[in-house]
């Protein structure tokens, strides 16, 4: 499953960070999940629970998920906007349809609390 591979690489990232800071334990992992990244939050959480058991340093870690709203950038008026509904294809400033998603499509590691 998609969620499992994402969480797996997230764990690698956590471990790398922990090693770099000589931490012995990760207490909290904060990630943001984009509205449109196609990830199931429940699955993501259960994948996290599974993986953290395999990693000594993460065993007691708590997962905190922040929702990331979709944000669009208009290629015509160069402004950014947050679509008010599920209409992701139109600029709310000028009505142009030349927009691209700049936020809300990814999972990102925001912060780690370690000791």
Rounded-to-integer distance, Cα 105 and Cα 16, Å: 24
Residue 93 lies near Zn ion (rule: CB under 5 A): yes
Is-contact 99 89, C-beta < 8 A? yes
Question: Comparing C-alpha atoms, which of 96, 24, 12, 108 is closest to residue 54?
Answer: 12
Site of tokens 């990830």: 39
Which one of the spans 10-18, 35-43, 60-68, 85-93 is the region binding Zn ion (CB under 5 A)? Answer: 85-93
Which one of the spans 15-23, 63-71, 90-98, 105-113 is the region binding Zn ion (CB under 5 A)? Answer: 90-98
Q: Pick from 77, 90, 101, 109 the residue near Zn ion by CB under 5 A.
A: 77
* Number of helices followed by number of strands (H, E) in the chain: 2, 6
Min dist CB 104 to Zn ion, Å, is 18
Residue 114 lies near Zn ion (rule: CB under 5 A): no
Residues lying near Zn ion in the complex (CB under 5 A) are found at: 74, 76-77, 91, 93-94, 96
């Amino acid at each position: 499953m998609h969620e499992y591979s994402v969480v797996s690489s997230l764990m690698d990232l956590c471990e790398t960070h922990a090693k770099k800071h000589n931490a012995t334990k990760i207490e909290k992992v904060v990630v943001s999940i984009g509205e449109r990244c196609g990830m199931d939050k429940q699955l993501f959480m259960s994948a996290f629970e599974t993986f953290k058991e395999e990693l000594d340093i993460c065993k007691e870690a708590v997962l905190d998920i922040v929702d990331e709203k979709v944000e669009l950038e208009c290629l015509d008026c160069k402004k950014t906007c947050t679509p008010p509904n599920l209409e992701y294809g139109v600029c709310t400033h000028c009505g142009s349809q030349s927009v691209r998603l700049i936020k809300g499509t990814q999972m990102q590691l925001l912060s780690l609390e370690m000791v």
